[in-house]
Amino acid sequence: MSGHSKWSTIKRQKGANDAKRGQAFTKLSKAISMAIRESGGNADPDTNFRLRLAIDAARAANMPKDTIERASTRAAGKAEAEMFEVVYEGFGPFGISVIVEAITDNKQRTTPEIKTLFDKSGGTLGVPGSVHYQFIQKGQITVSKDGRTLDDIFLIAADDGAEDVEDAGEQEVHIYTLADGLGSMRKSLLEQGFTITGAEIIHKPIVYKQISGPDQIEKVLTFMEKLDDHDDVQKVYTNFEIVEGS
């Protein structure tokens, strides 16, 4: 794999070919439910921005409309079991730093399961704050190029306050902004005719840990995929990049 490939790009390419739709829909339903619960029961995406992002993500994954509506109805009616948001931090193989965001109805089950995944990879589940300082919270909007160049997109987005842009594959670009500017940036890009394929608050690495060689790459990607495939895990952030010529 050549170039400086990062997990966000690798995962997006993997997701395009991922057949685990049932598991993906379950995770998206949890995100919708949590967005409503955390707002005190507000099931209106026009006034609950976190819910808007969760619904947009569900639609981008081709989640059926009635499934989205059922998740919203259950959460608004508080018919589901209580759920908790949990954030784990730790070190994966070869010292990569990892942040895991999860939603669970049983922390006593989820925590040891996540710890086991770290242990089996040769890594270590850390304490809160152990790697958080190596990341910064940003808004990330993914748009289709639609014939525009990276420079074209940057010039347009910069006028709206974007801090940076980054290729996210052949046909998409990540636009980065301040976390509290995500909503206004998203609205402006839509008004200017951009096709938005994703919008979220992320933990962006400040520095990267380089990995190289087939053995390192395989071990790191296997670990990341096992974390990502855990039923309770919503998002995984890491600071590894695969260096050129690997």
pLDDT in tens, 174-214: 999 999 999 999 999 999 999 998 999 999 999 999 999 99
Q: Say whether pLDDT at 20 is over 80.
A: no
H or E element at residue 151: helix 150-159
* DSSP SS3 for 235: strand
What pLDDT is attached to residue 75?
A: 80
- The DSSP output letter for 134 is G
Q: Compute the average pLDDT of residues 143-151.
A: 92
Name the token pair of 113.
């399961």
Length of the chain: 246
Distances in Å between the Cα of 221 and the Cα atoms of 68, 105, 241 are 31, 27, 11
Ordered by where they begin, the domains of the chain are 5-76 (1.10.10.200), 84-133+208-242 (3.30.70.980), 134-205 (3.30.70.980)
Distance of CA 117 to the CA centre of its chain: 19
The Cα–Cα gap between 237 and 61 comes to: 20
Quick one: pLDDT band at residue 2, thresholds 50, 70, 90?
very low
Quick one: pLDDT band at residue 3, thresholds 50, 70, 90?
very low
Query: Beta strand 124-125 with 233-238: parallel, antiparallel or unpaired?
Result: unpaired
Q: Compute the average pLDDT of residues 210-225.
A: 94
Tell me which of 116 and 5 has the higher pLDDT: 116
Q: Compute the average pLDDT of residues 18-38.
A: 83
What value does the mean pLDDT of the chain take? 89
Name the token pair of 65.
């409309």
What pLDDT is attached to residue 7?
A: 80
Burial of residue 62 (CB within 10 Å: 0-12, 13-18, 19+) is exposed
Q: Say whether pLDDT at 78 is over 80.
A: no
Helix axes 214-229, 7-15, angle to 10 degrees: 60
* DSSP states of 28-44: HHHHHHHHHHHTTS---
